[in-house]
Amino acid sequence: MPTGLFDLGEKVAVVTGAGSGIGAAIARVFARQRARVVVLDRDEAAARRTVDEIGAAGGQATASACDVADGEQVARVFGRIVADEDRIDILVNNAGIAHVGTIEGTTEADLDRLYAVNVKGVYLCARAALPAMIKRGGGVILNMASIASLVGVPERFAYSMTKGAVHTMTMSIAIDYVKQNIRCNCICPARIHTPFVDEYVARHYAGRERETLAQLAAYQPIGRMGTSEEVAHLALYLCSDEAAFVTGQAYPIDGGVLVA
């Protein structure tokens, strides 16, 4: 049981893209720290699996299907959360999609798809959560950016564009709502070893999985990829009262990439 440090104390935390990977880890860690977690994911079955894991560990969580790129659906889901819980204390905008390619290898459809999820999705969810936070006198928004919003990463043109937008949206929300006691920060991970990474490597590098994973690990000077739980622990700090003086910041969790 939590001892008080980083205790989320019955706060309502909404985590998007929490059906797997980093989002699921954040949901589990927040629930362990006594938050009531609302797990959102396009894949409702995946969201329910995260909720089942949380319930089995004694935590509180509910699941809803939500496509963060669909404005009507976001408004409906967040309206239901506020009706059921009467509050939203924490929003973690974790849902996102990846793309590999230079500008020449990025189609207009690719760009539109990345923008819709990674940029518009953050905008829609933050806009939907803010009125409830303002009404209750404060809250925390945490966005998932990327190391690609801070440095150049080869063949990540569209992805870097979207994560740069997440970074600047974070600063804008922070300055616009600081007087309403709403904090907004973002996390900038380097490569994190998630099931998505394993699936992507298996699909695109069949027969070279071990070599490819080794290359992904070597990108970080520390010699490995990060874990979802490591990102979740940073998220816990930034969403807790212990981080009450922190807003408008981008926090790298990168295994030494920025100092190499």
Nearest to 16 by CA among 52, 76, 65: 65
Measured between alpha carbons, how far is residue 158 from residues 84, 126, 238 in Å?
Answer: 37, 22, 27
- Of the CA atoms within 13 Å of residue 190, those in its CB half-sphere come to 22
To the query of whether residue 159 is one of the catalytic residues in this protein, the response is yes
Among 115, 123, 159, 205, the one annotated catalytic: 159
64-81 burial, b at 16+ Cβ within 10 Å, e below that, comes to bbbbbbbeebbeebbeeb
Tell me if 173 sits within 8 A of 184, measured CB to CB. yes
Residue that the structure tokens 């659906």 belong to? 73
CA angle 95, 97, 100 (to 5 degrees): 155
* Residues tagged active-site: 159
